[in-house]
């Protein structure tokens, strides 16, 4: 059969390759009717994804007609026209039971973060993809969905990745009625995120890119405002100017590892590969969102090699909640816990040091001497018991 064949960075060919066969009773062989190229394929094409092997066929966004099914497949029949989600998942493991299909535990022996993906190299299981005439679809009862008769196949193929990914980006933004949502990236994923943001209640949607034709398309397709980042000195200040100096309620990263816009990030992340890609969009998201806002990331970052493994965090679907503590909010409940005797916070105090001996106290605490856990400094005029003096070990 004819199939896309990876020969190394920036080199792909259409070549003859043996047709896939049923390898397992739950497999199906699907004759591809549509397959797309995704922004994620570009990371492979550019040689940025480790363990992308020569000879691999890419393609994780495809539809096709079922040609043959394994003996264990019950829900599909030859002739069914299906759309196949880009994730390969078993449907029954701990993660699949929680609908974390992209994190299936049974379909990718190479990783603990992401599950199997069609045509995405050996870090996602080494499955050949759908940029070919035929593709083997594992767990055929679980992943594929028969395309409803009234659904255009061109719409169906976008349901295998780009549209759901954009939708999930907006969903993870926890958009509230009237929110201002900034979407970085006017590729298909960003476009669907922008469109979905309106459906989820946004009051204002702003799409950022540096390619004019894409921004024009975004403006028409998603009825959004647009910003060309080449016209902007400082993204965070620009977004703040646009939002009464508050910042956006939600920022979405639909760009990922190959983001343009910062020489330093391109150099360290893309050229020298010292971090898992250019992190400039993460940087912009964090600085452009308002205090207490939400940053939603669907852009792909390299795994493992980052100084901070943000790619692993994305692949694992982590929720990172963060803030400085809003102390007062917690006080009524925590005082109640103390009064009820459920906790005695002062049990962690190991040292009471007169303020005059603050320098010893720092040394003690910093060097973790004398079993120090928490030091209380007592000023001379404190109207409490005279503190016991401490002997600081040398």
Ligand X SMILES: NC(=O)c1ccc[n+]([C@@H]2O[C@H](COP(=O)([O-])OP(=O)(O)OC[C@H]3O[C@@H](n4cnc5c(N)ncnc54)[C@H](O)[C@@H]3O)[C@@H](O)[C@H]2O)c1
Is residue 33 within a helix (H) or strand (E), and if so which, with residue range? strand 28-35
For residue 39, state whether it binds ligand X (rule: CB under 6 A).
Answer: yes
Site string for Zn ion, 294-313 (x = CB under 5 A): --------------------
CA atoms within 13 A on the CB side of 187: 22
How is residue 243 annotated by DSSP? T
Q: Which does 49 bind (CB under 5 to 8 A by kind): ligand X, Zn ion, none?
A: none
Taking alpha carbons only, the member of 64, 68, 101 closest to residue 84 is: 64
Strands 248-253 and 180-184: parallel
Closest approach, Cβ 109 to ligand X, in A, equals: 20
For residue 44, state whether it binds ligand X (rule: CB under 6 A).
Answer: no
Complex with ligand X: residue 85 or 144, whichever CB lies closer: 85
Among the listed residues 12, 32, 35, 40, the single contact to ligand X using CB under 6 A:
40
For residue 173, state whether it binds ligand X (rule: CB under 6 A).
Answer: no
Among the listed residues 57, 106, 107, 165, the single contact to ligand X using CB under 6 A:
165
Distance (Å, whole) CA 139 – CA 150: 26
Q: Which does 96 bind (CB under 5 to 8 A by kind): ligand X, Zn ion, none?
A: Zn ion
Complex with Zn ion: residue 192 or 284, whichever CB lies closer: 192
Ranges within 28-47 binding Zn ion (CB under 5 A): 38, 40
User: In whole angstroms, how large is the CA radius of gyration of the chain?
Assistant: 27
How is residue 67 annotated by DSSP? E
For residue 104, state whether it binds Zn ion (rule: CB under 5 A).
Answer: yes
Complex with Zn ion: residue 102 or 278, whichever CB lies closer: 102
Closest approach, Cβ 155 to Zn ion, in A, equals: 16
Q: How many residues bind ligand X (CB under 6 A)?
A: 31
For residue 280, state whether it binds ligand X (rule: CB under 6 A).
Answer: yes
Distance (Å, whole) CA 266 – CA 271: 6
Q: Are 125 and 107 in contact (CB under 8 A)?
A: yes
For residue 183, state whether it binds ligand X (rule: CB under 6 A).
Answer: no
Of the candidate spans 19-27, 149-157, 254-262, 359-367, the one that interacts with ligand X by CB under 6 A turns out to be 254-262
100 is written with which tokens?
């974390």
Alpha helices in 159-250 (DSSP H): 162-172, 188-199, 212-222, 235-242
Of the candidate spans 101-109, 278-286, 304-312, 376-384, the one that interacts with Zn ion by CB under 5 A turns out to be 101-109
In DSSP notation, 91-113 reads SSSHHHHTT-GGG-SSS-TT-SS
For residue 222, state whether it binds Zn ion (rule: CB under 5 A).
Answer: no
Complex with Zn ion: residue 38 or 205, whichever CB lies closer: 38
For residue 161, state whether it binds Zn ion (rule: CB under 5 A).
Answer: yes
Is residue 228 within a helix (H) or strand (E), and if so which, with residue range? strand 225-228
**End-to-end alpha carbon distance in the chain:** 77
Q: Are 12 and 37 in contact (CB under 8 A)?
A: no
Q: Which residue has the tokens 């990922």?
A: 256
Buried b (16+ CB within 10 A) or exposed e, 310-321: bbbbbbbeeeee
Closest approach, Cβ 105 to ligand X, in A, equals: 18
Distance (Å, whole) CA 80 – CA 187: 31
Q: Rounded to an integer, what is the distance from CA 333 to the centroid of its chain?
A: 34
Ranges within 71-90 binding Zn ion (CB under 5 A): 89-90
Of the candidate spans 37-45, 319-327, 357-365, 374-382, the one that interacts with ligand X by CB under 6 A turns out to be 37-45
Complex with ligand X: residue 10 or 347, whichever CB lies closer: 10
For residue 188, state whether it binds ligand X (rule: CB under 6 A).
Answer: yes
Among the listed residues 70, 119, 144, 185, the single contact to ligand X using CB under 6 A:
185
Closest approach, Cβ 1 to ligand X, in A, equals: 26
For residue 295, state whether it binds ligand X (rule: CB under 6 A).
Answer: no
Of the candidate spans 45-53, 98-106, 271-279, 365-373, the one that interacts with Zn ion by CB under 5 A turns out to be 98-106
For residue 209, state whether it binds ligand X (rule: CB under 6 A).
Answer: yes
What residues contact 83, with CB distance under 8 A and at least 6 apart?
Answer: 63, 144, 145, 147, 156, 157, 159, 160
Binding residues for Zn ion (CB under 5 A): 38, 40, 89-90, 93, 96, 104, 106, 161
Binding residues for ligand X (CB under 6 A): 38-40, 42-43, 161, 165, 184-190, 208-211, 214, 229, 254-256, 259-261, 280-281, 298-300
């Amino acid at each position: 059969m004819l199939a896309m064949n990876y020969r190394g960075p920036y080199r792909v060919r259409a070549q003859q390759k043996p047709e896939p066969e049923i390898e397992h009773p739950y497999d199906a062989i699907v004759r591809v009717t549509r397959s797309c190229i995704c922004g994620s394929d570009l990371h492979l094409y550019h040689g940025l994804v480790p363990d992308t092997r020569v000879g691999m066929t890419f393609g994780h966004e495809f539809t096709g007609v079922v040609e043959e099914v394994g003996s264990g497949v019950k829900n599909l029949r030859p002739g069914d026209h299906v759309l196949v989600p880009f994730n390969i998942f078993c449907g029954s493991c701990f993660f699949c039971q929680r609908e974390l299909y992209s994190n299936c535990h049974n379909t990718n022996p190479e990783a603990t973060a992401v599950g199997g993906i069609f045509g995405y190299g050996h870090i996602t299981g080494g499955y050949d993809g759908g940029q070919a005439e035929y593709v083997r679809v594992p767990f055929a009862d679980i992943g594929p969905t028969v395309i409803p008769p009234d659904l255009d196949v061109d719409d169906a193929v976008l349901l295998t990745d780009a549209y759901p990914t954009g939708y999930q980006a907006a969903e993870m933004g926890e958009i509230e009625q009237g929110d201002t949502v900034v979407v970085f990236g006017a590729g298909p994923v960003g476009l669907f995120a922008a469109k979905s943001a309106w459906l989820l209640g946004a009051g204002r949607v702003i799409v950022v890119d540096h390619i004019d034709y894409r921004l024009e398309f975004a403006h028409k397709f998603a009825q959004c405002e647009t910003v060309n980042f080449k016209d902007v000195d400082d993204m965070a200040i620009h977004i703040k100017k646009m939002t009464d100096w508050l910042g956006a309620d939600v920022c979405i990263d639909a760009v990922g590892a190959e983001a343009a816009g910062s020489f330093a990030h391109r150099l360290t992340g893309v050229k020298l590969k010292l971090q898992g890609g250019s992190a400039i969009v993460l940087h912009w998201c964090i600085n452009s969102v308002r205090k207490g806002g939400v940053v939603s990331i669907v852009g792909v970052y390299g795994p493992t090699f980052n100084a901070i493994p943000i790619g692993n965090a994305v692949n694992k679907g982590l929720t990172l909640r963060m803030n400085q503590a809003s102390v007062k909010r917690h006080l009524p409940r925590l005082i109640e816990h103390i009064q009820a005797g459920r906790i005695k916070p002062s049990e962690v105090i190991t040292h009471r040091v007169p303020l005059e001996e603050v320098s010893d106290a720092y040394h003690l605490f910093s060097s973790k001497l004398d079993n120090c856990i928490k030091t209380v400094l007592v000023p001379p005029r404190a109207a409490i018991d005279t503190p016991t003096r401490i002997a600081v070990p040398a």
